[in-house]
Structure 1
Amino acid sequence: MTTNSKLDRVRELLDQNRPEEAFRLLDHHVEETPEVRNARAVCLLRLGRLSDAVSILRDITFRGYMNMPDDTPLRFQLNFATAMLMMNFKDAAMTVMDRLELEEDPQADQLRNAIERWKKSLGPIARLCCRIGLYPKRPVTLDAPPGRV
């Protein structure tokens, strides 16, 4: 099975809410491309293994640099921001989302909408704190299954 057909099968399994099967399918994949690693991270996000997912996403988004390179694929950046939100590391997630503010993408729109709803649910002092980068501990609720392959 080629990498693209395997990733298509992983997408199908994830669409059917079968992340464990998708993850096992990737375990039998020899070629560890960034796309395959991203798919593995999405499976881990959906399985609730957030630290494992973040470890992979950090490697494929930052690629050893201190800052995220400009040529990092959008879906990797969005998956990293999603993972950061799920782990309640809002400062990291907001930094990525600020960087992507002009991007038109359904996943980016979903994350922006979730963040906006979360901000509107906060009291006035908490909203003011958000403006200066101090985020309350209350988690951001996502509307859709996390991550995109």
Structure 2
Amino acid sequence: MDRFLIERLAEHVAGFSQLAPVRPRTVQKRKARGYVPPPNEGLVVTNRLGRPVQRGEFNSKWRAAVKLAGLPERTRFHDFKHFYTSRLGASGHHDPKTVQALSQHAEFSETWDTYAHPPVAVEGVKVTAFSGLFTVGGGPAARVAG
């Protein structure tokens, strides 16, 4: 994610209380069972306990957020990835392989065939650079006899 999005998420998360501390009695019970705390998975979306959100819980919250944002009802969470990758590729600031890596796609074709869209500026553009290689002094070059 870019710095802008990280900062917005940090501002958003700051508005929520931190995870509830685990009571000492619960810690003792966990130790007795051989409990090992889960690793930090770097999740962007978690439940109030910092664990992965269950699909049903996430979907109900997602639908409410889509409605609140005024987005089309059928907007999916994955649509954000499509938006991000499309804009990343169209920005002109990153080469195609960097866009692939940032999108975490194993295959370049997945990135470019799915997410790359020709910019509007390309519509109606005539390419003439190649023809310049075959002209001399502005006129057509002599044909090579074969």
TM-score of the superposition, structure 2-length normalised?
0.29
Select the structure that is richer in helix.
1
TM-score scaled by structure 1?
A: 0.29
Return the structure number with greater relative CO, CA threshold 8 A, min gap 6: 1
Decide which structure has the larger Cα Rg and report it: 2
